[in-house]
Amino acid sequence: MSDATEAIVKTTAGKVEGNYRRGAYVFCGIPYAAPPVGSRRWLPPQPAEPWDGVRPVKRFATTAPQNPPESSILAAPQPEPQDEDCLYLNIFTPGLDDARRPVLFWIHGGGFTTGSGSALVYYGRNITMRGDVVLVTINYRLGALGFLKLDEVTNGNIPATGNEGLLDQTFAMEWVRDNIAAFGGDPDNVTIFGESAGGMSVGAQLAMPGAKGLFHKAIPQSGAAHTASSPDRSVKAANVFLQILGISASDTGALRSLAMERLMEAQKELAVRAITPEFAIGGMPLQPVIDGKILPRMPINAIANGSADGIPVLVGSILEEWKLFGVMDPSIASLTEEQLLRRCQRIIPSGDVGGLIEAYRKAREKRGAPTTPGELLMAIQTDRTFRMPAIALAETQMQRGTPAYSYLFTWTSPAMDGKLGACHALELGFLFGTHEENFSGIGPEADALSANMQDTWVAFARTGDPSCESPGKWPAYGERRETMVLGRESVLVEAPYEEERRAWDAIPDASAGTF
């Protein structure tokens, strides 16, 4: 390159021109696949169409179609433009050279129905420059376009497996394999990481035969390897979706030409009906599907059979994840003991549910933590959905002889006078160095936590071991359940919150499946 700040790179589809900003090169909205529109709706991703000349990639591209979040807490500061043409990625890199830096490949969360790789919280300059790494963030198909299984109900006329969103993620990894060296990255040292549905996606990629060899380390955050619909559940969701639309499964032309606004309306109605006794599908009706091929089995079972052997994992959760969802449910504050038991029996259909509640009550009393029915419900939901799957993944990799490292994030949000506690998604601003005053908190302690997280994530991406100067030695998860607590201080502890963890031993498969 003739100019050190020139940001033109040749990809397999053509040249792209990004921006040079304060020591980093930023490329926004590079197409990694062809637009999945028209006849390509609900099909696997296809290669991007080549172009002549130099394509400007200086602004973020459109995001996947999605309904706005139910709560303003989860809403972006400014809505991003949406379009079914959404398969784009963004790259942040310190240099366009042959340095072969570690590559961090980010999969955003949002319940498989919302979010984007261009959200401001994921802006990658800080972690890229601090760690001398290349960061890739992606969009992928969401909701009904990415996770609706239509092949069975349409007799194969629309061959959607319900895993098109996962296939998009894998296809973007293939693009990284073929192109990232030109952006200063090492295609042989790729770490996939993601949060919430992004973490669950990481767990799915660990189980997918088609993703094997495309990444070398994995960091699932607040989501592990226990989220996928059974074939029966996914078919039921598809039938209810068609019923809402009033379209016959044989009318594939109508489905392919359906306006995006109508699809989004039906998707919203599906989420409502799914949790009613009449339909009994459960929360998150649109999520990855065990289809026997792309996702052969529940991810944790595939991993137990060796699908992720040799891939080090850094996995963890946040202490009070469910408090973010709890503030959206006013009924939790007035929950009675009887209602607590009924709710827990609904989400945990087998095992000694009453004994589980009592175990949580006693453990929290011992620590001086609140034991109201609402607090107990949020603690149980936090562990069922996030902490126990993370522990199970760490244990499974340990048993397979592959290193796993465990963390628990405990920093509390200042928002809503502290009512959110150490809630879901709180770690994101610290990880990307985009923490702010209202939700995350700022100040010297916040800056130190952010530096610690960035340094350990980068160390893991570089070597497969998160130990570094910031938190010190971080041993792999073992019989003593070694866990790094990330909060106002970052300290290594053994078996944190062990009484609650032990209580789940009597609850079979409680963490599998849905919210």
Residues with catalytic roles: 196, 321, 424
DSSP string, 402-461: --EEEEEE-----GGGGTT-S-TTTHHHHHHT---TTTT--SHHHHHHHHHHHHHHHHHH
Q: Are 303 and 393 in contact (CB under 8 A)?
A: yes
**Which token pair is 400?**
């397979």
Could you give phi then psi for residue 239, rounded to 5 degrees? -65, -40
The residue assigned the tokens 């590079």 is 30
The residue assigned the tokens 């498989």 is 112
Q: 168-171 long-range contacts, Cβ below 8 Å, gap at least 24?
A: 168/33, 168/36, 168/45, 168/87, 168/138, 168/139, 168/140, 168/141, 169/107, 169/138, 169/140, 169/201, 169/205, 170/205, 170/208, 170/210, 170/211, 170/214, 171/32, 171/33, 171/44, 171/45, 171/87
Q: β-strand 88-93 against 24-31: which pairing, if any?
A: antiparallel
Give the residue among 379, 330, 144 at the shortest CA–CA distance from 245. Answer: 144
d(CA 454, CA 46): 34
Distant-in-sequence, close-in-space partners of 509: CB < 8 Å, separation ≥ 6: 350
φ/ψ region of 509 (left if φ > 0, alpha if ψ in -120 to 50, else beta) reads: left
φ/ψ region of 476 (left if φ > 0, alpha if ψ in -120 to 50, else beta) reads: beta
Give the residue among 450, 513, 410 at the shortest CA–CA distance from 200. Answer: 513
Q: β-strand 54-56 against 88-93: which pairing, if any?
A: unpaired
